[in-house]
Amino acid sequence: MPPDPAAAPAAPLRLCIDKDALAANWRALDRASGTGKAGAAVKANAYSLGVPQVVPVLRDAGCADWFVAHWQEVPGVMAHVPAGEISVLHGPVTMDEVAFARECGARPVLNTLEQAARWIEGGGGTCDLMIDTGMNRLGVSLKDLGDPLIARLDVDCAMSHMASADEDAPKNAQQLGRFREARASVKARRFSLANSAAIALGPDYHFDLTRPGLSLYGGIPRREMSAFIRQVAFPQAAVLQVRRVMPGETVGYNATFQATREMRVAIVSVGYADGYLRAWSDKGRFSFEGAALPAIGRVSMDMTAVDVSDVPTLREGDWLGIEYDPVWASRTSGLSQYEIFTVLGSRFSRR
Ligand SMILES: *Cc1c(COP(=O)(O)O)cnc(C)c1O
């Protein structure tokens, strides 16, 4: 019989979540939302930080509105909060999804007239409504809001999504104008426009509910948000081997790093299969007991080499901190801060 996976030894990779920072970020975003209340986008396993780690902390901080993308994501969130607090952004595209929504009690965000008809056909009930104000992603167009199907819906939250809130673009005011127009014609208990970045665009954008995701997890989509958003995700990797490298020797694939002096090199258990990108070859930073340690050579699939010459006490089995400040990680990799979180792989033990 194969051994129970739960009986396997602890993972050599940890994703430590600073719960105080996470709760503080939600409270800061809730405060910054003025008269609106902050919810939380927890799709994609809470941007890969882990629904079981994130949702209870935000719930205890006072969050009571949750946004996921897929119906498959509902049960994981429902393990921690009432289903009636969960909105499913992709809406009901099949009758199976309508039936599932009615059975579990999570709210569909209706994105099209077809979805509205499907929801009503399946028995209906309270729903949310996405209105497209110019992003041309999901949502009912302004010109379709007058359709009698929309008037038949029992809408809790009518929302729209901002395309360029992380920039000072004319599109922001344009979307706000269109959302105000929609608000005058649609009946709903609550209205919601802002993602993380749009919270910083000011009170006009706050309405009744805001939907931050990125900034809860430490992302800084607008510079002014660095004043109140803290880093939440702190990855760590175990040292698998410490070796001596002599001057002239090379380290790693394609021998991109060549030692110019005698060095101690630690091979740590994190690689691009874990989301530790090849972009950080010769650029990444690690830490041990306060000492900053550079990555050297190519990042491999499961391993990265680190110059630990400055920490002679370091041994196999010790843990290194992995530099993962989202702004730094985004700048040095060319990925968006969103991807910096979502690339974090499943081999991390999340705690
Ligand atoms: C993902 C998402 C959010 C959260 O956006 P952030 O930029 O991460 O704050 C809010 N609303 C909708 C509709 C989304 O899809």
Q: Do β-strands 319-322 and 233-245 pair in parallel, antiparallel, or remain unpaired?
A: antiparallel
pTM of structure: 0.96
Q: How much distance in Å is there from the Cα of 212 to the middle of ligand 1?
A: 6
Ligand 1 neighbour 77 (Cβ under 6 A)? no
Ligand 1 neighbour 213 (Cβ under 6 A)? yes
In whole angstroms, how far apart are CA 7 and each of 2, 10, 15? 11, 9, 20
Q: How much distance in Å is there from the Cα of 41 to the middle of ligand 1?
A: 6
Please write down the HEC assignment for all residues of the chain. CCCCHHHCCCCCEEEEECHHHHHHHHHHHHHHCCCCEECEECHHHHHCCCHHHHHHHHHHHCCCCEEECCHHHHHHHHCCCCHHHEEECCCCCCHHHHHHHHHHCCEEEECCHHHHHHHHHCCCCEEEEEEECCCCCCCEEHHHCCCHHHHCCEEEEEECCCCCCCCCCHHHHHHHHHHHHHHHHCCCCEEECCCHHHHCCCHHHCCCEECCCHHHHCCCCCHHHHHCCCCCEEEEEEEEEEEEECCCCEECHHHCEECCCCEEEEEECCCHHHCCCHHHCCCCEEEECCEEEEEECCCCCCCEEEECCCCCCCCCCCEEEECCCHHHHHHHHCCCHHHHHHCCCCCCEEC
pLDDT of residue 119: 98
Q: How much distance in Å is there from the Cα of 221 to the middle of ligand 1?
A: 12
Which numbered atom of ligand 1 lies nearest the CA of 221?
Answer: 7
Ligand 1 neighbour 39 (Cβ under 6 A)? no
Fill in the amino acid letter for 313.
T
pLDDT band with cut points at 50, 70 and 90 for residue 5: confident
Mean pLDDT of the chain: 97
pLDDT of residue 297: 97
Q: Residue 109 forms beta bridges with which residues? A: 128
Neighbour tally for 227: CB within 10 Å? 9
pLDDT at 242 over 90: yes
Residues 6+ away with beta carbon under 8 Å from 272: 278, 299, 300, 301
pLDDT of residue 4: 84
Which numbered atom of ligand 1 lies nearest the CA of 89?
Answer: 13
Residues 6+ away with beta carbon under 8 Å from 83: 74, 104, 105, 106
Which numbered atom of ligand 1 lies nearest the CA of 161?
Answer: 13
Per-residue pLDDT tens digits for 277-329: 999 999 999 999 999 999 999 999 999 999 999 999 999 999 999 999 999 99
Residues 6+ away with beta carbon under 8 Å from 14: 235, 236, 237, 319, 348, 349, 350, 351
Ligand 1 neighbour 112 (Cβ under 6 A)? no
pLDDT > 70: what percent of the chain? 100
Q: How much distance in Å is there from the Cα of 117 to the middle of ligand 1?
A: 25
Residue to probe by mutation, ligand 1, list 48, 86, 89, 337, most atoms within 8 Å of CB = 89
Q: Residue 131 forms beta bridges with which residues? A: 140
Which numbered atom of ligand 1 lies nearest the CA of 212?
Answer: 9
Ligand 1 neighbour 214 (Cβ under 6 A)? yes
d(Cα 209, Cα 107) in Å, to the nearest integer? 16
pLDDT band with cut points at 50, 70 and 90 for residue 120: very high
| Residues that are catalytic | 43, 253
pLDDT of residue 62: 98
Ligand 1 neighbour 107 (Cβ under 6 A)? no
